[in-house]
């Protein structure tokens, strides 16, 4: 079945690039383009696209305002396309909270068109599978914070929690991390997200959480009460020096079609933390993380996959379950408590 796409962007160049690149995939049809939200509104009603790509910085009406109206009156999957400016990054993150399913960077001098087209096609195919609820974004409410055995957790300083996510993961991570107490075990996170967006994402999460959330820097210590998010376009690996864990952040080739890759992180955790780790794979398209989670389980770690009903896209968890990598399958709302129980 062909996925019908409407491209909304005030740049004629971007519209042309998207049309040309998407035409290369037989499963995708660009049914129309629009230079602003007013024209887009009429084309959505008339053309009934399955997925919309939306610029967030446009004249007449900004993309964020349009997105909120769209989610209220005509909800459908939206991929936000943003520049790498600080303003563009902030708007893109707000758009995720308003109901967008994915974000990606505009093509430009620092962003190869070839890489962009592969990513865009993947995101469109993932977005087409998303069930968008009328009148609300895809954001999930934070879980109720579990009553935890804080003294036991405080004594268990050598536990590491590794979490991987992709499509729908930004909202899932907010719900999961905001449910954790300040003395939670050290956490490593790979969320598929473009370069320069992960710092803003970490800063935003930090506002909602009792734990510290930050974009990882090479050499950062993995410690209780801290979550480190892999920077966009860099792999993040766990390393150990004596009794202390730290991260290595480095460039490298794409792994499982991603950088950062969940597989890269999980495999390093399997090697250096072994049975002292808990691995969690959340919503997302594709198979990144499935093999790494299996290695973690083989090394003695406890492993959890998000269940289908609570996933935005049941791709990564499905692959992990199929390969025997998941020791437990849980709804998103039960993962925080399970992680704390396993670590205590």
If one compares 138 and 205, the residue with the highest pLDDT of the two is 205
The yes/no answer on whether domain 3-127 falls in CATH 3.40.50.2300 is: yes
Mean per-residue pLDDT, 209-237: 96
Position 1 confidence tier, pLDDT thresholds 50, 70, 90: confident
User: SS3 helix, strand, coil % of the chain, rounded to 5?
Assistant: 40, 25, 40
Q: How many CB atoms lie within 10 A of CB 27?
A: 12
Q: Has residue 255 got a pLDDT over 90? A: yes
Which tokens belong to 174? 């907010």
- Specify the 3-state DSSP secondary structure of 31: strand
Residues 18-27 have a mean pLDDT of 92
Instruction: Find all residues with CB under 8 Å of 314, minimum gap 6, and list them.
Output: 283, 308
Stated pTM of the model? 0.87
Taking residues 305-314, report their average pLDDT: 94
Round to whole Å and give the CA distance between 213 and 196.
16
Per-residue pLDDT tens over the stretch 79-115: 998 876 666 677 778 888 888 998 888 766 444 566 6
In this structure, how many other beta carbons lie within 10 angstroms of the beta carbon of residue 168?
A: 28
CB pairs under 8 A, 24+ apart, for 38-42?
A: 40/6, 40/8, 40/66, 41/66
By three-state DSSP, how is residue 316 classified?
helix
**Closest by alpha carbon to 16, among 137, 115, 106?**
106
328: exposed, middle or buried (Cβ count in 10 Å: 0-12, 13-18, 19+): middle
Give the CA count within 13 Å in the CB-facing half-sphere of 237.
13
pLDDT band at 242 (very low <50, low <70, confident <90, very high): confident
Q: Specify the pLDDT at position 300.
A: 97
Under a CB-based contact definition with an 8 Å cutoff, are residues 24 and 47 in contact? Answer: no
Q: What is the mean pLDDT of residues 223-236?
A: 96
Supply the pLDDT for residue 95.
87
Average pLDDT over residues 315-340: 97
Token code pair at residue 286: 């594709």
Beta bridge partners of 247: 238
Say yes or no: domain 150-343 is CATH 3.40.50.180.
Answer: yes
Distance in angstroms (rounded) separating the CA atoms of residues 222 and 242:
13
Token pair 């075990």: residue: 185
Which secondary structure element, helix H or strand E, spans residue 278, and what is its range?
strand 277-281
User: How many C-beta atoms lie closer than 10 Å to residue 48's C-beta?
Assistant: 12
User: Quick check: helix, strand or coil at residue 270?
Assistant: helix
**Residue 105: which residues within 8 A CB-CB, separation 6 or more?**
81, 82, 83, 84, 111, 116, 194, 195
Quote the pLDDT of residue 149. 40
* Structural domain spans, the chain: 3-127, 150-343
Q: What are the tens digits of pLDDT across the range 268-307?
A: 999 999 999 999 999 998 999 999 999 999 999 999 999 9
The C-alpha atoms of residue 20 and residue 33 are separated, in whole angstroms, by 12
Compute the average pLDDT of residues 59-82: 89
Per-residue pLDDT reduced to its tens digit, 168-181: 899 999 999 999 99
Residue 154 has pLDDT above 50, yes or no: no
pLDDT higher than threshold 70 for residue 333: yes
Same fold, 3-127 and 150-343: yes
> Does residue 44 have a pLDDT over 80?
yes
pLDDT confidence tier of residue 137, bands split at 50, 70 and 90:
very low
Highest mean pLDDT among 83-97, 142-156, 303-317 belongs to: 303-317
Mean pLDDT (the chain) is 88
Report, as residue numbers or ranges, the catalytic residues: 166, 192, 288
Q: Are 281 and 290 in contact (CB under 8 A)?
A: yes
End-to-end CA distance of the chain: 48
Neighbour count for residue 261 (Cβ, 10 Å):
24
């Amino acid at each position: 079945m062909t996925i019908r796409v409407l491209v909304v962007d005030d740049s004629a160049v971007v519209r042309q690039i998207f049309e040309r690149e998407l035409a290369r995939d037989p499963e995708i049809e660009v049914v129309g383009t629009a230079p602003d939200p007013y024209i887009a509104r009429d084309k959505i009603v008339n053309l009934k696209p399955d997925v919309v790509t939306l610029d967030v910085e446009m004249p007449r009406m900004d993309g964020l305002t349009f997105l909120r109206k769209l989610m209220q009156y005509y909800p459908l999957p939206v991929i936000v396309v943003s520049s790498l400016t600080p303003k563009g990054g902030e708007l893109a993150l707000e758009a995720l909270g308003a109901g967008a399913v994915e974000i990606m960077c505009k093509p430009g001098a620092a962003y190869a068109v070839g890489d962009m087209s592969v990513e865009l096609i993947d995101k469109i195919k993932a977005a087409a599978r998303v069930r968008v609820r009328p009148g609300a974004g895809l954001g999930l409410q934070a879980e109720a914070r579990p009553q935890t055995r804080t003294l036991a957790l405080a004594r268990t300083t050598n536990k590491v929690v590794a979490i991987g996510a992709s499509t729908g993961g930004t909202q899932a991570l907010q719900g999961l991390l905001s449910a954790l107490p300040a003395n939670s075990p050290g956490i490593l996170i790979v969320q598929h997200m473009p370069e320069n967006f992960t710092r803003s994402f970490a800063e935003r999460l930090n506002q909602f959480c009792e734990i510290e959330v930050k974009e990882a820097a090479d050499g950062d210590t993995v410690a209780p009460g801290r979550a480190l998010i892999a920077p966009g376009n860099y792999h993040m690996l766990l390393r150990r020096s004596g009794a202390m864990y730290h991260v290595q952040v480095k460039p490298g080739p794409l792994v499982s079609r991603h950088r950062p890759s969940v597989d890269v992180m999980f495999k390093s955790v399997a090697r250096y933390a072994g049975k002292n780790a808990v691995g969690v794979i959340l919503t997302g398209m594709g198979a990144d993380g499935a093999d790494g989670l299996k290695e973690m389980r083989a090394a003695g770690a406890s492993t959890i996959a998000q269940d289908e009903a609570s996933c935005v896209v049941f791709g990564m968890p499905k692959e992990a379950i199929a390969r025997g990598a998941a020791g437990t399958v849980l709804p998103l709302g039960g993962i925080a408590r399970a992680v704390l129980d396993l670590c205590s």
